[in-house]
Structure 1
Amino acid sequence: MLEHVLNARSVAIIGASKNKTKRGYQAIKTLLADGYEGEIYPVNPKEDFILGLKCYKDITDIPEKVDLALITTPARTIPKILENCGAKGVAGAVIIAGGFRELGEKGRVLEQEMVDAAKANQVRLIGPNTSGMINLKSRMNLVGIQDPPEGSIALLCQSGNMALTLITEATIRKHGGFTYYVGVGNESDIKFHEYLAFFRNDPDTKAILMYVEGMSQGREFLQEAYNTSIEKPIILLKSGRSDKGRKSAGSHTGSLAGMGQVAKAAYERAGIIVIENSDELFPVAETLSSQPPVKNNAIAVLADGGGHATIAADLLTDYGIELADLSEKTKENLKKILPEAASVANPVDVAGGTDADPSIFADCAKILLKDPAVGGLLMVGLFGGYGIRFEKSLAIGEEQAAHRLGAMGRKRSKPIFVHSLYSAYDSHALDLLRHYDIPVHDSLDIACKSMACLCTYGNYLKTYHAKTNFVFNWREKAKPEGKAIIQAAVDEGRHVLLEHEAKQLIKLHGAPTSVGGMAKTADEAVDIARKIDGHVVMKIVSPDILHKSDANGVMLNIGDDSQVKAAFDIIIENARIYNPKADIRGVLVAPMAAKGLEVIIGTKIDEQFGPVIMYGLGGIMVEIMKDVTFWVLPVSPASCKKMIEDTRSSVILSGVRGQKGYDKKTLRKLLGICSELVESYPEIQEMDFNPIILYENGLDVVDARIILKK
């Protein structure tokens, strides 16, 4: 429960100081200057009074209840201070100091000591390595930023500079602001998902804005985001997207899983609006906190110039947003108030129709918003600047239009967004729009991006029921035979299933695959091959040789008995040359698969989000094209369909240039089976099915690799 931490009614400043350059002085000064509604207790054994407030030797000396401690002392002092906080019954502490795990092993040990002390004394921690926190509602400013603007956005940030950037931007824009700011820091105790749960239940918070560098409990965060995003939009910028993560020697999946791919897909599935450019972060949050989502992915553009209209149309189309198909009635009503030269198709270009009377903008807006096909309105051009650019008297018409637009916006049925070249000017009309919570921007790109995010959020809300909630039902569909296969490997001390074992396991759950048989001698190989109709493929079976082709341990299109015998001997010899110490169990003999389209499916354990699944073009092309997509498990049938559609090669599955398509239904089923396997057997670390051969009807898992947790 974070109520007594984030809504603290009393704060102790441990490390309070008379030195004006110290945080322990600045915090008290800011709390007093801002009019903090609670009690302030400086703590310093060497002082009697600081800034007119009685100073206490220790937090335990304070006679009244203390909700929160702001600790500004060095890292090494904090574990003992937390013991005293626990004795006093303090609910939480903000740890400013750095010098913990970011400095290496010694710092990690100290951080763990701090966390252990906090847990033992039931004190929740914000930080460490944080710039602090602000509660704008109670004027509890523990950061020292001057006059942060109050509004309806909660800000969670792992960078003090990014927080300052966003707060400064809101101040300069004179619109939008914050309910809370929390510098999450190292996230050593209170996690991101706990803050989400608090803000979800805060009536004053309308949107949650996040800057994330790292996250310790990603799956718990996704589960909470799934619950929160249906009620309040979450806007997130994740830094470090270029990191490729650690490569795994065990599978293609591990080597291809860039952190950015996994995180972005996971966040979007949880309903989070993912932002990739920092200058879009606050505008999008401001928009989503003040405007209703677009319900039908269709926008009307109202412009007073062809250039801006065309650019807006291009940008919206690039974002996948439709330009609403206006009804004939809408067009006729527009023609009645606009000159003959005006374009009443979407985008609507007034063609000088507002030059003498800018209030006509409001007339056009009213007509457009009444059209059922229009989900939202984007005005682009000079609005707010007519009285500046042309004639001062025109400002009156603009102000009238602003009032009317504000009245339309307050119905909160469809969003209104304004791009104006005069956004930075002193324009009363634009100030009125901001007063009515209508966003105004001078960047057409940001205006279109913000409108696109309203569409993205609206699209998510429509399909929320089809999403998975990221919760596993472990072992719910595990089969006794499957458990036995895994247990046999564990009993042998193996962390890799042999290929025939892996195929037997996936076949138990309905995956189409030709298991074949394992031969320990050349004669056994011949016997197995004779029972197979057609040519066979032969592969080395060894827990020490994961990549069989690297060891020249695979031979294809083997026909008669003599070829089978020769292939057996060659494969065994090649394996021994490749790894003289390898535990060679024999040779797998299986039906030779017919030609088809090769795809890959794999799973791995991601450090932040747990089990994830990968799908894409397979065979050697997976390394060359890297046309793959990652999703956090488990997946729903709708997710399986979306995974396939998200790859560039998805068009091939439908058939191109007269070729027949491939069995997407069975492929979707296999993706679901892979999710079921990971959910059924927690021992699985990674799976790698490559290649899977797709046919017009059906498919065949040709090669299967399953790695168990060590």
Structure 2
Amino acid sequence: MGLDYVLNARSVAVVGASKVPTKRGFQTIRTLLDEGYEGAIYPVNPKEKSIMGLPCYASVSEIPGEVDVALVATPARTVPAVLEDCGQKGVKGAVILATGFGETGKAGKALEKEVLSAAGTHHIRLIGPNTSGMINLKANLNLVGLHDTPKGDIALLTQSGNMALTLITEAKLKSRKGFTYYVGVGNEADIRFHEYLEFFQQDPDTRAILMYVEGMREGRKFLQQAYRTTETKPIVLLKSGRSTKGKQSAGSHTGALAGMSEVAKGAFERAGIIVIENSDELFPAAETLSSLPPIKNNRIAILADGGGHATIAADTLTDLGVEIPELDEKTQRKLQAILPGGAAVRNPVDVAGGTDDNPSVFADCANIILSDPNIGGLLIVGLFGGYGIRFAASLAMMEEDAAHRMGKMVKSRKKAIVVHSLYNSEKPHSLDLLRYYGVPVYGSLDVACKCMGVLAQYGRYLKSYHAVTNFVFNWGAKAKPEGKKIIDRAYAEGRGALLESEAKHLFKLHGAPVTCDVLVTSAEEAANAAAAIEGPVALKIVSPDILHKSDADGVRLNLTNKKQVKKAYAEIVRSAKAYQKDARIEGVLVSPMVAKGVEVIIGTKIDDQFGPVIMYGLGGVLVEIIKDVTFRVLPITRRTAQRMLSETKSHPILDGVRGERPYDKKALVNLILTCSEMIEAYPQIHELDLNPVIVHHEGLSIVDARIILKPQEETQPSPAAEAV
């Protein structure tokens, strides 16, 4: 990848070096010197002879020694020429600070293209542009100019300098944790998110990866790499741009499209990424995952010195999907032996004053609880750390003893402890001792619960890791020869979509249940076809130029005799021509009316960041109003398809209501998987839409099928959909 030369650079040229303290070209050199960077530092400025005692060079190409990376602190318009100069020197990487590129519009995109061309010609890897820089804490390689960034085991990737500053400040003031690397990804013009992930996965000092993302250019490659990375290292991510205004802001800042939040969140979680929606939970989640073992059985215990906090914690954790099981009877007896008679010992455990004169009892209780084989982790909530402040100074020593014991407990038992303390802001020594052992402490009960929740979420993911898709397509492997002919015929006829009859036939080739439809071109043919079908029929216009048949008044239902059918045929054709005068009318489709059932929709589209995605939800004419749908990045597994059903608000309908028999969820899951298979089989498909699908108590019926094709010149899989 060439990232080692950039992120572990052994020599740095500062292009735009300055003697002005407010300039980045000054701040970077000052920080490199102050923090003891051992590599060579080369200031570059044709107007200066030396800066801070270092000889200054008129250009990078005049530097006598080798240069691994250049920090480019000059205006955007100068960057192509600077990179040409770097290329002459053999520089391997560049960090481009300037704004004014792809994030600003047409002219900026043209300039960014010029920059990429110069870098590509000389094999220079780029961070940015529009970046705050990068820091390698291990090597004191600080190209940001930010002093006192704490060192630790978390890699930080963001598309916002302000978010980076927020997270670094939080680590400095509220934690013992810090960072191995910080990279301001910026516009992601060259080095992409997935490349950084691969680098940090291989870095032995990085235990967790913390990300703030506005948009990414190769989302599918990112998912594929994240799938590999999260097997060994957790990734915590905050994705902005969920609202319309948020997307506009993200676009103006990074020049990358902020994708649909429904798609992005589901995709990230399927890759094992811990998605955070509240910014104040972002660093705590990363801190917790880098410090503690994941909870393997999704079961935790709560230890409290008051019922209120215990109840709130239990409710919050339940909402997060964490189980709070009753403790083993043996465990309960041991707790009863050391706690007052009024103590609650089932789970949550309330000490009922049992720690008031001896807070070291917390450690005794913790040891007993973590010995329970059904418990994977422990959340302590309430006053711990404040007994020496609230009651008597003499109790502080007991709290410190308890902190030592609980800290060692995490390592010996390989089970997590997270602490919520009302006295966190007072910074008692006992809480600092817990942090020394890697036990996170928070003043917010919600944040503490979230941290237990992410440990359980990561543990659940690791348990099911091999059952999750790796986001890689095997393009064309399951295509049917007859299916290829259908698509080729559409292209040969200049059509951008399959006829409904063709779409249904394609589904039939892949084993999906479709109605026995007949395409006719006259009223008489329609009447004869209807007569051969048992029961009432439906007529629908067939035109490559009319995708939404109802809008063109091109559908007639429940026709029971020849007279009705002939009249309906004439009306449909007339309405279609009135709707669009030049529409090509291929005929009318005669279909049997299907039995009543639950109407659902299944559809696919190409997402800008992640490639093909699939949607499932409540269907019919109100689908766009009700919006009871869920999304997944393709391809999917059977387990994922089953989860899609349960995620919609309307899913209880499928189980039968008011004494009704349940509907055929197995057939529905099979159809969702068939759609996934067809997208993988035919990369020519741009969009697929089944609406409605009628789900019966036994089986289902595809009432309407629409398949839109890509332009023929774009029939190779999109970059977002390609495998790594």
User: Is TM-score (shorter-chain normalized) higher than 0.5?
Assistant: yes
Per-residue CA deviations over 1:15-49 (Å, capped at 9, x if unaligned) read 11111221111110011111112111111112111
Distance 1:99 1:693 in 2: 52
Q: Given the superposition, is the C-alpha separation of residues 686 and 270 from structure 1 closer, same or farther in structure 2, using an over 3 Å criterion?
A: same
Superposition deviation, residue 426 in structure 1: 3.1
Structure 2 gaps, min length 5: 248-257, 712-724
Q: 1:56 maps to which residue?
A: 57
Percent of aligned pairs with the same residue?
A: 65
Counterpart secondary structure, 1:488: helix
Distance 2:100 2:413 in 1: 48
Equivalent position amino acid for 1:622 in 2: V
Superposition deviation, residue 412 in structure 1: 6.1
Q: 2:706 maps to which residue?
A: 705
Q: Which runs of structure 2 are paired with 1:139-154 in the superposition (5 Å)?
A: 139-154=140-155
CA contact (8 A) 1:74 1:97 kept: yes
Per-residue CA deviations over 1:512-565 (Å, capped at 9, x if unaligned) read 111411111111112221221211110011111111011110000111111111
Q: 1:459 maps to which residue?
A: 460
Counterpart secondary structure, 1:410: helix
Counterpart secondary structure, 2:426: coil
Superposition deviation, residue 258 in structure 1: 7.4
Q: Which runs of structure 2 are paired with 1:10-409 in the superposition (5 Å)?
A: 10-243=11-244, 259-409=260-410
Distance 1:491 1:259 in 2: 34
CA contact (8 A) 2:28 2:142 kept: yes
Q: TM-score, normalised by structure 1?
A: 0.97
Q: 1:662 maps to which residue?
A: 663
CA contact (8 A) 1:517 1:528 kept: yes
Distance 1:616 1:241 in 2: 20
Counterpart secondary structure, 1:86: helix
Equivalent position amino acid for 1:10 in 2: S
Q: 2:589 maps to which residue?
A: 588
Q: TM-score, normalised by structure 2?
A: 0.95
Equivalent position amino acid for 2:72 in 1: I
- Residue 477 in structure 1 maps to residue 501 in structure 2: no
Counterpart secondary structure, 1:424: helix
Per-residue CA deviations over 1:214-270 (Å, capped at 9, x if unaligned) read 100000000000000111000000000123999xxxxxxxxxx97010000000000
Distance 1:91 1:411 in 2: 46
Q: Which runs of structure 2 are paired with 1:623-638 in the superposition (5 Å)?
A: 623-638=624-639
Distance 1:198 1:290 in 2: 21
Q: 1:554 maps to which residue?
A: 555
Q: 2:620 maps to which residue?
A: 619
Distance 1:245 1:649 in 2: 29
Please identify, of 464-473 and 35-44, the stretch whose mean Cα deviation from structure 2 is larger: 35-44
Distance 2:625 2:30 in 1: 60
Distance 1:309 1:323 in 2: 11
Distance 1:318 1:124 in 2: 44
Equivalent position amino acid for 1:15 in 2: G
Per-residue CA deviations over 1:340-377 (Å, capped at 9, x if unaligned) read 11111211011111111111110000000000111100
Counterpart secondary structure, 1:40: strand
Q: 2:441 maps to which residue?
A: 440
Equivalent position amino acid for 1:433 in 2: L
After TM superposition, the runs of 4+ consecutive aligned structure 1 residues lying more than 4 A away are none
Counterpart secondary structure, 1:322: coil
Per-residue CA deviations over 1:288-339 (Å, capped at 9, x if unaligned) read 1101111111110001111111111111111121112200100000011111
Distance 1:506 1:539 in 2: 18
CA contact (8 A) 1:154 1:209 kept: yes
Q: 1:415 maps to which residue?
A: 416
Equivalent position amino acid for 1:107 in 2: G
Counterpart secondary structure, 1:497: coil
Per-residue CA deviations over 1:131-166 (Å, capped at 9, x if unaligned) read 000111011111111201111110000000000000
Distance 1:657 1:371 in 2: 43
Compute the RMSD of aligned alpha carbons: 1.3
Equivalent position amino acid for 2:36 in 1: G
Distance 1:468 1:258 in 2: 21
CA contact (8 A) 1:520 1:585 kept: yes
CA contact (8 A) 2:370 2:413 kept: no
Q: 2:252 maps to which residue?
A: none
CA contact (8 A) 1:500 1:515 kept: no
Distance 2:646 2:243 in 1: 24
Q: 1:605 maps to which residue?
A: 606
Distance 2:629 2:283 in 1: 31
Alignment length (residue pairs): 700
Equivalent position amino acid for 2:497 in 1: V
Q: 1:450 maps to which residue?
A: 451
Distance 1:80 1:258 in 2: 34
Per-residue CA deviations over 1:467-487 (Å, capped at 9, x if unaligned) read 000001000011111111111
Distance 1:258 1:688 in 2: 21
